[in-house]
Amino acid sequence: MRIIAGLAKGHALKSLKGNKIRPTADKVREAVFSVIDYKLEGACFLDLFSGTGAIGIEALSRGAAVCYFNDVRKKATEMVKENLLHCRLEGQGKVYAMDARKFINFLKEDTGLSFDIVYLDPPYEADLYEPVFKALADSALLKEKALVIAETNKQTLLPENFGPLALFKKKVYGDTLIWYYQHR
């Protein structure tokens, strides 16, 4: 797995052994970033279920100003830190190891913080999409016209709206379905 474009283009990322982490395929990452490229420059990005950090590091490589990484697994967050260091982007990444909903509540305490783009890729079987979307929609963490992107398997069905978040696009890539929502 490599960074596809930008400052860290070509840098290989480390991953944990086993099947506990399901990195987003390169072709899916490329497709997602081609959709959101116009919004990346200087963006505040949240990679909420970060795994190896590939999505957030790709965002930083392509021009995001800062990325908050969160994964409940301590080993995953250690891997994100290693990958940030390897890509020379450690100064732009903030890494946490918390339950996603607790992390959203934690972030709400920082009154000046708001995100341009949020990427959600929880374990498919964990049934976390709706509670996390609801927590984000009910928070003040999303800028006007912020994007929230969810990666699911292609059998998953999500609502077209989560409060102020409205679906504007979805696209299937093999077994993966990407949902694009915008904050109204």
Q: How confident is the model at residue 167 (pLDDT cuts 50, 70, 90)?
A: very high
Neighbours of 174 (CB within 10 A): 10
The set of residues, in sequence order, having a beta carbon less than 8 Å from that of 39 and lying 6+ positions away, is 116, 117, 147
Residue 7 lies in a domain: no
Residue 110 lies in a domain: yes
The set of residues, in sequence order, having a beta carbon less than 8 Å from that of 50 and lying 6+ positions away, is 56, 69, 70, 71, 76, 77, 80, 95
Q: What is the CATH number of the domain that holds 85?
A: 3.40.50.150
Could you tell me how many residues make up the chain?
184
Nearest one of 159, 175, 183 to 24, comparing CA atoms: 175
Residue 29 lies in a domain: no
Residue 117 lies in a domain: yes
Residue 9: per-residue pLDDT: 86
Tens digits of per-residue pLDDT, 136-164?
Answer: 998 889 999 999 999 999 999 999 999 99
Residue 41 lies in a domain: yes
Tens digits of per-residue pLDDT, 59-89?
Answer: 999 999 999 999 999 999 999 999 999 999 9
Residue 18 lies in a domain: no
CA distances to 9, 64, 81, 82 from 71, in Å = 24, 20, 12, 14
The tokens describing 117, both together, are: 């783009």
For residue 92, the enclosing domain spans: 35-183
Nearest one of 46, 61, 44, 67 to 132, comparing CA atoms: 46
Residue 13 DSSP symbol: -
Q: Decide which of 109 and 95 is more confident.
A: 95
Domain total in the chain: 1
- Residue ranges in 93-182 assigned as alpha helix (H): 100-108, 129-138
Residue 67: per-residue pLDDT: 98
Instruction: Count how many Cα atoms sit within 13 Å of the Cα of residue 6 in the half-sphere of its side chain.
Output: 24
Residue 46: per-residue pLDDT: 98
The tokens describing 165, both together, are: 């978040």
Q: What is the three-class DSSP state of 93?
A: strand
Residue 4 lies in a domain: no
Asked if the model's pLDDT at residue 171 lies above 90, the reply is yes
Rounded Cα distance between 113 and 136, Å, is 13
pTM here? 0.93
Residue 11 lies in a domain: no
